[in-house]
């Protein structure tokens, strides 16, 4: 039984590793769907695993994990924050499965860093009045919370939160690298949002490391994604993340927009700005992917808690011009 379980979870790990290794991913603007990733992983499995292990792909746990990651992709990229509340119980169920085995632990680290997204979505679900039902019309989705409401809730959520394990030493070590790249040192706390300062974190879409760099973004900023994968090394990944943030600040001239683009892609943010004919994050926030709507206010609250500074108040180091 133990051997079967190990094989089963080794198989799940291989499947998820296949999700991250697939070359069809694009960082922006058109990411592959999870269905595409699953098909690529299944193709990889058929070519690389023996029939006995392949049979384990039909296990209930594998299907449970696959279904959760598919739902995560849909809800994160969807329009409505409150829809993410429906995944809260499923995430709590799957996390122990992922944390129980070495092969799937990196995905658990990634997911646990986002656990409070589902908790915040659920809090908004409980306090947001349901849309009025109109006979003969399809039911309407609950409206998205305003950026102001999100900031207030995240400040309460993050207040007095303990430092992630290993954060103190990494912050001291990596802040000078951000400054050297012309980026405010306080933005090092993006690593708390992305990975809880655990470089092993890996997303099912292929992002890796402290700063959750996608393969194309890593290559764009001269990181190797082959063995050794430099995204797993805190210093090279910090430099690449800082360079990307510097580029985004140079493009959008606003830290809320720049960090939103860090999460969902510069093309997604630019298209939202163009459609809304506005120049501010608050003007487009409720039209961005649900994950991004949560991501930026969470980062703002984290900066207030860790550094006592507002995101919009960050000042560039005088030594470099961002994006150059």
Q: Do 69 and 168 lie in a common domain?
A: no
Q: Do 98 and 200 lie in a common domain?
A: no
Q: Do 100 and 151 lie in a common domain?
A: no
Task: Give the pLDDT confidence of 245-296 residue by residue, as tens digits.
Answer: 999 999 999 999 999 999 999 999 999 999 998 999 999 999 999 999 999 9
For residue 320, tell me if it sits in a domain: no
> How many structural domains are present in the chain?
2
CATH number for 259: 1.10.530.10
For residue 123, tell me if it sits in a domain: no
Q: Do 95 and 158 lie in a common domain?
A: no
Q: Do 195 and 257 lie in a common domain?
A: yes
Q: Do 291 and 157 lie in a common domain?
A: yes
Closest listed residue to residue 86, CA positions, set 99, 66, 68, 109: 68
For residue 116, tell me if it sits in a domain: no
Q: Which of 2-11, 55-64, 199-208 has the highest mean pLDDT?
A: 199-208
Q: Do 16 and 155 lie in a common domain?
A: no
In whole angstroms, what is the distance from residue 78 CA to residue 263 CA? 14
Q: Do 166 and 231 lie in a common domain?
A: yes
Residue 64's domain comprises 2-77+86-104
Q: Does the pLDDT at position 70 exceed 90?
A: no
In whole angstroms, what is the distance from residue 3 CA to residue 25 CA? 33
Q: Do 66 and 163 lie in a common domain?
A: no
Q: Do 183 and 281 lie in a common domain?
A: yes
What integer pLDDT is reported at residue 209 of this predicted model?
A: 97
Q: Do 175 and 44 lie in a common domain?
A: no
Torsion over CA: 91, 92, 97, 102 (sign)? positive
Closest listed residue to residue 312, CA positions, set 180, 184, 130, 131: 184
Mean local confidence (pLDDT), 60-72: 80
In whole angstroms, what is the distance from residue 16 CA to residue 97 CA? 13
For residue 93, tell me if it sits in a domain: yes
For residue 136, tell me if it sits in a domain: no
Greater confidence, 44 or 224?
A: 224
For residue 120, tell me if it sits in a domain: no
Q: Do 288 and 176 lie in a common domain?
A: yes
CA–chain centroid gap for 175, Å, is: 21
For residue 318, tell me if it sits in a domain: no
């Amino acid at each position: 039984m133990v051997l079967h379980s190990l094989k089963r979870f080794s198989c799940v790990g291989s499947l998820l590793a296949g999700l991250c290794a697939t070359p069809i991913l694009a960082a922006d603007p058109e990411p592959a769907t999870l269905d595409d990733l699953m098909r690529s992983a299944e193709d990889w499995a058929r070519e690389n695993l023996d029939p006995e292990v392949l049979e384990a792909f039909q296990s209930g746990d594998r299907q449970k994990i696959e279904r959760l990651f598919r739902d995560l992709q849909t809800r994160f990229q969807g329009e409505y924050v409150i829809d993410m509340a429906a995944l809260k119980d499923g995430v709590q169920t799957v996390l122990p499965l992922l944390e129980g085995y070495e092969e799937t632990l990196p995905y658990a680290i990634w997911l646990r860093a986002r656990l409070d997204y589902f908790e915040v979505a659920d809090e908004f679900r409980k306090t947001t009045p349901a849309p009025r039902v109109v006979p003969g019309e399809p039911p309407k989705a609950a409206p998205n919370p305003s950026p102001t409401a999100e900031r207030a809730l995240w400040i309460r959520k993050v207040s007095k939160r303990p430092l992630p394990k290993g954060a103190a030493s990494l912050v001291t070590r990596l802040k000078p690298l951000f400054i050297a790249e012309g980026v405010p040192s306080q933005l090092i706390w993006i690593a708390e949002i992305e990975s809880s300062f655990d470089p092993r974190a890996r997303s099912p879409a292929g992002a890796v490391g402290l700063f959750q760099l996608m393969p194309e973004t890593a290559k764009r900023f001269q990181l190797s994604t082959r063995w050794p994968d430099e995204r797993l090394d805190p210093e090279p990944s910090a430099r690449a993340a800082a360079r990307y943030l510097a580029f985004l600040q140079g493009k959008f001239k606003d830290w809320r927009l720049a960090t939103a683009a860090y999460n969902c892609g510069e093309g997604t943010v630019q298209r939202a700005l163009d459609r809304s004919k506005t120049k501010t994050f608050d003007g487009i926030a409720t039209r961005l992917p649900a994950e991004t709507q949560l991501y930026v206010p969470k980062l703002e609250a984290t900066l207030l808690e860790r550094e006592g500074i507002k995101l919009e108040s960050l000042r560039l180091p005088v030594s470099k011009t961002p994006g150059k």
